């Protein structure tokens, strides 16, 4: 560290120290809020999220109180910063009662300076849809739903361990259409024994409802899941690639922009909350197992909460909701940034790298050159983006920045 004597200092005045490894963020990025609801009706065999099956009931009031305490304890870290999006995920947050959701939204508005045009998303399971309850969700301030359809094929839904069938999926979308202008449908493909024709029918059924946003995920075998332990028979790589090609052509023909690896949107309906993640923005995560990434002028910090709901609630009551906290090391920032930003199909402005990491673009110059030489990356003075080849081998491209 280099000692710096303050202007006008005299003997006895403590010296400041300039850390040559410190960052220099000229402005803090946009801030989002993530709220985790950890319970679901049944744990799906492919799911590696922090979710726990409801055993009869769940402690709604105790959990809502813990969420408020967690948020209150976090306020000094984000003081004065406006929140531009809220995402309530899980688990299955649509298990919350209408009164419970209203209480949560009231606490958020009371404690945070929420932007007037903030996007407020809630995840919902078709097996939990009740028309009257979702009307009240909308009245409480939810203005975007993300519905976990996964498939309209009842056999595939059974294989995935979902609690709804195809008819319930359609009914859920009709309720969403009646109450929300903005909603997303989650679909999965390359499902156990799924054919290209079945994938097409799922996609056509979803698009028949004209959703503003589609999320289309390739089923993957995540560690520590039932599917990882007992793998089902999945379509081979060629069949999976055919499904990806089908999705690309059909969504484009229907007017959807493929703007991120798994995200497709009609004009003006990109998911603002998720875009903030991919552009390496900041987010405060509250609730069991939630993660935060928070920037300060000279450092960027990550936090996690305890995964078990009971442990989280006890910790929040004791005034220590944050379970772990660590500063992101300077040499880890390039990979952290590129891991997210390279998911954007249209790429990003090179200036964004400096704005969000506090580092000069020269920190990754050699790797950019190497990726460009391999045909994985296109760049000029206004744009860095993965090529078609880079999109196909995205994991390899991202790992070059490790």
The predicted-structure confidence for 305-363, as pLDDT tens digits, reads as follows 999 999 999 999 999 999 999 999 999 999 999 999 999 999 999 999 999 999 999 99
Q: What percent of the chain has pLDDT above 70? A: 95
Q: What mean pLDDT is predicted for residues 86-101?
A: 95
Matching residue, tokens 């939990």: 128
Q: Are 203 and 254 in contact (CB under 8 A)?
A: no
Say what the pLDDT of residue 63 is.
98
What token pair was written down for 284?
């405060």
Measuring CA to CA, which residue among 399, 368, 400 is closest to residue 385?
368
d(CA 402, CA 398): 7
Say what the pLDDT of residue 41 is.
87
Report whether pLDDT(7) > 50.
no
Least confident stretch, 3-12, 18-27, 83-92, 377-386: 3-12
Report whether pLDDT(273) > 70.
yes
Report whether pLDDT(13) > 80.
no
Q: 1 vs 355, which has greater pLDDT?
A: 355
- State the pLDDT confidence band at 248, using cuts at 50, 70 and 90: very high
Q: What mean pLDDT is predicted for residues 126-140?
A: 90
d(CA 262, CA 240): 14
Least confident stretch, 92-101, 152-161, 279-288, 382-391: 152-161
Report whether pLDDT(16) > 80.
no
Q: What mean pLDDT is predicted for residues 268-296?
A: 97
Q: Are 108 and 57 in contact (CB under 8 A)?
A: no
3-state secondary structure of 122: strand
Q: What is the pTM of this model?
A: 0.91
- 5 CB burial (10 A radius; 0-12, 13-18, 19+): exposed
Question: What is the tens place of the pLDDT at every residue in 136-174?
Answer: 999 999 999 999 999 999 999 998 888 888 899 999 999
Measuring CA to CA, which residue among 24, 22, 3 is closest to residue 14?
3
What's the chain's average pLDDT? 91
Report whether pLDDT(66) > 50.
yes
- Pairing type for strands 257-260 and 263-265 reads antiparallel
d(CA 376, CA 12): 57
Q: Are 65 and 106 in contact (CB under 8 A)?
A: no
Measuring CA to CA, which residue among 68, 60, 73 is closest to residue 320?
73
3-state secondary structure of 321: coil
Report whether pLDDT(18) > 50.
no
Q: What mean pLDDT is predicted for residues 61-67?
A: 98
Say what the pLDDT of residue 21 is.
63
Say what the pLDDT of residue 129 is.
81
CA distances from residue 24 to 27, 58, 274, 278, 352 in whole angstroms, order as listed:
9, 45, 25, 21, 14
For the stretch 24-45, what's the b/e string if a residue is b when 16 or more beta carbons lie within 10 angstroms of its beta carbon?
ebeebbbbbbbbbbbbbbeebe
Domains and their CATH numbers in the chain: 31-276 (3.20.20.70), 330-402 (1.10.10.10)
H or E stretch covering 118:
strand 114-124
């Amino acid at each position: 560290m280099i000692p710096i004597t303050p202007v006008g200092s005299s003997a006895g005045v403590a010296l400041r120290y300039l850390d040559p490894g410190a960052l220099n963020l000229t402005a803090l990025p946009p801030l989002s809020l993530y709220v985790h609801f950890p319970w679901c009706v049944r744990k799906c065999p492919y799911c590696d999220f922090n979710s726990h099956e409801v055993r009869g009931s769940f402690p709604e009031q105790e959990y809502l109180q813990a969420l408020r305490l967690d948020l209150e304890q976090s306020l000094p870290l984000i003081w004065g910063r406006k929140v531009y999006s809220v995402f309530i995920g899980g688990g299955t947050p649509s298990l919350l009662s209408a009164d419970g959701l209203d209480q949560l939204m009231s606490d958020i508005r009371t404690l945070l300076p929420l932007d007037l045009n903030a996007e407020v998303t809630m995840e919902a399971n078709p097996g939990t849809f009740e028309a009257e309850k979702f009307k009240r969700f909308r009245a409480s301030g939810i203005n975007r739903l993300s519905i976990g359809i996964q498939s309209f094929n009842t056999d595939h839904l059974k294989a995935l361990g979902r609690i709804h069938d195809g008819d319930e999926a359609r009914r859920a979308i009709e309720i969403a259409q009646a109450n929300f202008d903005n909603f997303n449908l989650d679909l999965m493909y390359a499902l156990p024994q799924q054919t290209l024709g079945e994938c097409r029918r799922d996609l056509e059924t979803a698009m028949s409802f004209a959703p503003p946003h589609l999320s289309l995920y390739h089923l993957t075998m995540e560690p520590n899941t039932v599917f990882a332990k007992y793998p089902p028979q999945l379509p081979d790589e060629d069949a999976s690639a055919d499904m990806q090609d089908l999705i690309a052509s059909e969504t484009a023909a229907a007017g959807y922009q493929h703007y991120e690896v798994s995200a497709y949107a009609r004009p003006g309906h990109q998911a603002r909350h998720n875009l903030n993640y991919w552009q390496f923005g900041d987010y405060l995560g509250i609730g069991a197992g939630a993660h935060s990434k928070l920037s300060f002028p000279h450092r960027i910090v990550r936090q996690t909460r305890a995964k078990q709901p009971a442990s989280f609630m006890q910790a929040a009551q004791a005034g220590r909701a944050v379970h772990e906290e660590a500063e992101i090391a300077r040499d880890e920032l390039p990979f952290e940034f590129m891991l997210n930003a390279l998911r954007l199909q249209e790429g990003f402005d090179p200036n964004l790298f400096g704005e969000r990491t506090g580092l000069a673009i020269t920190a990754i110059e050699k790797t950019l050159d190497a990726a460009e030489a391999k045909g994985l990356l296109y760049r000029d003075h206004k744009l860095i983006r993965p090529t078609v080849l880079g999109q196909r081998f995205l994991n390899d491209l991202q790992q070059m920045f490790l």
